[in-house]
Structure 1
Amino acid sequence: MSVPKQRHTKGRRNRRRANIKISSKNLIVCSHCSKMIVKHRICPHCGYYKGKKLVEIKTKKKKGKAGKEKKKE
């Protein structure tokens, strides 16, 4: 196994590590619903992409008192 001949300085080590970082996602405003979305993706809130409706978004139904009564029985 190879072994380094000379020790790297702290500055050289830190300059190398400066490039290892987490980059932020490219977010834009949806042209239809004005919410923040990732670029080049269909809006998960309204289903539009480039001004065209591509996906029908299903809405979650809220459970009322009837849903709780069925579980008790």
Structure 2
Amino acid sequence: MAIPFRRTSKTRKAKRRTHQRAKNPTMIQCSNCGASIKPHTICKECGYYDGKKILDVKDKN
């Protein structure tokens, strides 16, 4: 196996890794209760999806 002639500098390594970062997930407001949810998912607070009741969600109180 070949051995690199020179060490890879910190700057060169950082430039190569500029796109390897975690991105914030996209969040939307639930149309029924206004809670923040990921798109195309059932709301965990009220159980609605696309204006229709999908799940029966129990109160935490």
- TM more than 0.5: yes
Match of 2:35 in 1: 35
Extract unaligned runs of 5+ from structure 1: 62-73
Query: Aligned AA for 2:57?
Result: I
Structure with greater Cα Rg: 1
Structure having the higher helix fraction is 1
% identical equivalent positions: 39
SS at 1:25's partner residue?
A: coil
Query: Aligned AA for 1:55?
Result: L
Number of equivalent positions: 61
Query: Aligned AA for 1:59?
Result: D
Pick 1 or 2: higher relative contact order, CA cutoff 8 A, min separation 6.
2
Query: Aligned AA for 2:28?
Result: I
Match of 1:20 in 2: 20
Let me know the Cα RMSD of the aligned residues. 1.7
Q: Within 2, Cα distance between the matches of 1:3 and 1:16? A: 20
Using the size of structure 2 for normalisation, the TM-score is: 0.81
Extract unaligned runs of 5+ from structure 2: none
